[in-house]
A and B are shown apart, each in its own frame.
Chain A
Amino acid sequence: MNFCKRAWLNVWAKKGRSVLLILVSAAILMFVLAGLLIRSAAIKATNQAKADVGATVTLSANRQAAFKQMRQSSSSSSSKSSRPKLTLTPVKLSDATKIAQLSNVGSYNVTSTTSANAKSYDTVSTSTGMGGSSSGGPGGMKSGSSSSGDTQIDGVTATSLTSDFSDKQSKIVKGRGITTSDKNTNHVVIEKELASQNNLSVGDTMTFKQTTGSKTTVKVKVVGIYKASSSSSSTAGPMSTDPSNTVYTSYTLANSIKGSKYAGTADSVTFNVTNPSKVSSVKTAGNKLISSSKYSLSTDDASYQTVKASMSSVESFANKIVWLVAIAGTIILALIVILMIRERRFEIGVLLSLGEARWKIVAQFFTEMVMVLVVALAIAGVGGKFVGNQLGSQLVSQTATTTQTTSSTTSNQPGGSSQGGGGQPGGQGQNGGPGRTTNSTKQANTKLAITVSAVDLAELGGFGLAITFLSIMIASGGILRLEPRKVLIS
């Protein structure tokens, strides 16, 4: 191992040259590390997006089939008095349970929306000059039991599973949200404006009056108060009830307000798919479990696809950085080492005249470079994170701008998947509550969490060793051909 000692003596004796080599190596490694960090952060972000953004499959009534049936009955009936009705079949919870058991399906949220009239309290009215506080979207065709009340009742499995709450557009400010334990109870969560207008707080009771059937009153207990964000509130159409009049309950209570025939049903059931890439297979498997003439399964993985596309682009760019810098670094280092070796021909000649093996001379140069590399790695470890952060945030902001522009252009097309503003027609139809959003309208606001881990440094070390090894191998061609007589006796 005498060559190791020689390497150390050389590195130590020629401090200026060693510092220069350290700086060059650190600069190369810094960019390699930046690439590696961005790449691993992009992979992490994509995996995180799978968990965070997720994808959903929604089971609801097949509106297309219902419209088709309505048109058929309209054309077969000649009587003007019998106006055609759009009949949407409520989703059976038994079907939902079957789908929930499919692989890759995580939690699911049952949604049952209806309306009721205020009895023991006053609703919040919004003066828009376009129709007061009447509920229901514009131009809606009534379906099923059709009278609408001034309070929208959103029956859910749990408020935390709804997009309004998971997107932080609404948040609980007092008490708690609706949970699965509220099933078959009369617990409600009301909006802050409604609560303050009626001096209601957690623990108080309030009374609704059914809009249809026997129009009986229902006494409910407030267990929580939520605050809807201004953006959420403003998404309702001009003819809909004020968003503050939306009350969250368990879907069982919403069903009982709708009427006894709605027991065990829902307007829609949204299944969260644990692995968004499997959303299509879940849909295919789910379709086999339901009657497609009555129900449909729709998928929503737009956010996941947006994030995935964005991160794939970043990952691909990072890969290019890694390889380009590695190749350029190898060439630069090789040239430096070639010059260094040319400068040390005399020393090589002396070593050969002493009978030193050629491979040990190559090993000495390699060891010297490894010593330089160790210090350069430490510098690159510190600097690489900074460079990676700068480069990564720049990349993400550029990529996100591009993908969001593309995404918004697509979603503004007619027939897009937005279910937000405007609301569903006719009070007791499905979805369309104020401020409701879906995954597709989420922004892929993914940040790259760039951290330098031991694995990253090990990978960088591997790259550094490979670059050094290649550089030395390229340069050592000269050593292997060198004849000591020509060097020493001239």
Chain B
Amino acid sequence: MLKTKDLSYWYQDASQPLFKEVNLEFEAGQSYAILGHSGTGKTTFLSLIAGLDHPKDGEILLGDRSLKQIGLTNYRRHDVAIVFQAYNLFAYMSPLDNLLTAMAITGAEHAGDKAYASQILRDLGIGDDLITRNVQHLSGGQQQRVAIARTMACDAKLVVADEPTGNLDEDNTHAVIAQFQKIAHEQQKCVIIVTHEPDVAAQCDHQYRLENKQFTQLA
């Protein structure tokens, strides 16, 4: 589904890349974890496959088309959904409005369908008493679930998450990872999670470690 072909990235000096000539393949219906120490470039890698930045060298292919051909804005709108460590919800909206806004922008099949959006939130444990409340009044775990619900409400085939459990306690961490697994296996989406927590990575179908500018698949 998503392939990286000789993907390289560096900031100032091409002789000191964060990673070099990376060739990976990600399939629909599977979850992937990318592990690595801080500063190794795993979040940068995620931003490239999320279409937030251009690679310095190589290319990313969705199916048989490169992101360059698709266009980053189009790619972000229709093909990828992102979950951030800091949730990145619209602070002035309710959980329901957050979902409806994302559905409208991405042109999702159920755009404007309040009942559909409400059901997704309910499935993730956001009760009716919370769905119209301002998101700032929700706990961190609840906000992260809203962010996950947002990815589910949109029709993107690829879900990428950057340290989605970084701000959560153990119970919430398990619940969130379970949701990602559900998205991958039940909705047949490709889920890629960047994390530095081995416990979280262990729950995913595949694990990669970014070390010494190269990705290594863990057994």
B185 to chain A, nearest CB (A): 25
Chain B residues whose CB sits within 8 angstroms of the CB of A146 once the complex forms: none
B26 interface residue (CB < 8 Å to A):
no
State whether B52 touches A489 (Cβ < 8 A): yes
B25 interface residue (CB < 8 Å to A):
no
Q: Known A353-B52, A355-B76; judge A9-B93 contact (CB<8 A).
A: yes
A332 to chain B, nearest CB (A): 24
Cα–Cα, bound, A269→B53 (Å): 89
Chain A residues whose CB sits within 8 angstroms of the CB of B101 once the complex forms: 2, 5-6
Cα–Cα, bound, A489→B45 (Å): 11
Chain B residues whose CB sits within 8 angstroms of the CB of A481 once the complex forms: none
Q: Kindly report which residue of chain A lies nearest to residue B79, judged by CB atoms.
A: A355
A189 to chain B, nearest CB (A): 79
Cα–Cα, bound, A463→B131 (Å): 41
Q: Known A484-B52, A488-B52; judge A355-B92 contact (CB<8 A).
A: no
A110-118, A230-238, A256-264, A344-352: which lies at the interface: A344-352
B106 to chain A, nearest CB (A): 6
A179 interface residue (CB < 8 Å to B):
no
B73 interface residue (CB < 8 Å to A):
yes
B117 interface residue (CB < 8 Å to A):
no
Q: Kindly report which residue of chain B lies nearest to residue A357, judged by CB atoms.
A: B73
Task: Find residues 326-378 in chain A having any chain B CB closer than 8 Å to their own CB.
Answer: 346-347, 349-357
State whether A355 touches B106 (Cβ < 8 A): yes
State whether A10 touches B52 (Cβ < 8 A): no
State whether B76 touches A352 (Cβ < 8 A): yes
Chain B residues whose CB sits within 8 angstroms of the CB of A5 once the complex forms: 101, 104
Chain B: interface size category: 20 to 34
State whether B93 touches A13 (Cβ < 8 A): yes
Contact with A along B72-102 (1 / 0, CB 8 A): 0111111000101000111111000100011
Cα–Cα, bound, A389→B73 (Å): 53
A80 interface residue (CB < 8 Å to B):
no
A454 to chain B, nearest CB (A): 35
Cα–Cα, bound, A9→B101 (Å): 11
- Checking B77, B90, B162 against A350 with a beta-carbon cut-off of 8 angstroms, the contacting residue is B90
B214 interface residue (CB < 8 Å to A):
no
B179 interface residue (CB < 8 Å to A):
no
Chain B residues whose CB sits within 8 angstroms of the CB of A2 once the complex forms: 101, 104-105
Chain B residues whose CB sits within 8 angstroms of the CB of A357 once the complex forms: 73
Cα–Cα, bound, A6→B91 (Å): 11
A362 to chain B, nearest CB (A): 15
B134 interface residue (CB < 8 Å to A):
yes
Q: Known A483-B53, A485-B53; judge A354-B77 contact (CB<8 A).
A: yes
Contact with B along A369-413 (1 / 0, CB 8 A): 000000000000000000000000000000000000000000000
Cα–Cα, bound, A489→B48 (Å): 11
Chain A residues whose CB sits within 8 angstroms of the CB of B105 once the complex forms: 2, 351, 354-356
Cα–Cα, bound, A291→B89 (Å): 92
Chain A residues whose CB sits within 8 angstroms of the CB of B203 once the complex forms: none
Cβ contacts A to B, 29 pairs, < 8 Å:
A2-B101, A2-B105, A5-B101, A6-B90, A6-B101, A9-B90, A9-B97, A10-B92, A349-B88, A350-B88, A350-B90, A352-B73, A352-B76, A353-B50, A354-B76, A354-B106, A354-B154, A355-B73, A355-B75, A355-B77, A355-B105, A483-B52, A484-B52, A485-B52, A488-B84, A488-B88, A489-B44, A489-B46, A489-B52
A14 interface residue (CB < 8 Å to B):
yes
Cα–Cα, bound, A6→B103 (Å): 13
Contact with B along A207-239 (1 / 0, CB 8 A): 000000000000000000000000000000000
If A6-B90, A355-B105, A488-B52 are given as contacts, then 7 extra A-B residue pairs at C-beta distance below 8 Å, sorted by A number, are A10-B92, A350-B89, A352-B73, A353-B52, A355-B77, A484-B52, A489-B52
Chain A residues engaging chain B, CB cutoff 8 angstroms: 2, 5-6, 9-10, 13-14, 346-347, 349-357, 483-485, 488-489
Chain B residues whose CB sits within 8 angstroms of the CB of A350 once the complex forms: 88-90
Q: Kindly report which residue of chain B lies nearest to residue A10, judged by CB atoms.
A: B92
Which residue of B75, B84, B105 has the most chain A CB atoms within 10 A of its CB atom?
B105
What 10 A-B pairs come out closest when comparing CB atoms?
A355-B77, A13-B92, A355-B76, A2-B104, A485-B52, A485-B53, A354-B105, A485-B47, A350-B88, A356-B105
- Checking A6, A351, A355, A489 against B43 with a beta-carbon cut-off of 8 angstroms, the contacting residue is A489
Cα–Cα, bound, A351→B93 (Å): 13
B155 to chain A, nearest CB (A): 12
Cα–Cα, bound, A350→B147 (Å): 11
Chain B residues whose CB sits within 8 angstroms of the CB of A483 once the complex forms: 52-53
B58 to chain A, nearest CB (A): 17
Chain B residues whose CB sits within 8 angstroms of the CB of A355 once the complex forms: 73-78, 105-106
Cα–Cα, bound, A260→B82 (Å): 110
Cα–Cα, bound, A161→B77 (Å): 80
State whether A489 touches B104 (Cβ < 8 A): no
A482 to chain B, nearest CB (A): 12
A266 to chain B, nearest CB (A): 82
Cα–Cα, bound, A353→B52 (Å): 7
Cα–Cα, bound, A9→B82 (Å): 23
State whether B53 touches A14 (Cβ < 8 A): no
Chain A residues whose CB sits within 8 angstroms of the CB of B84 once the complex forms: 488-489
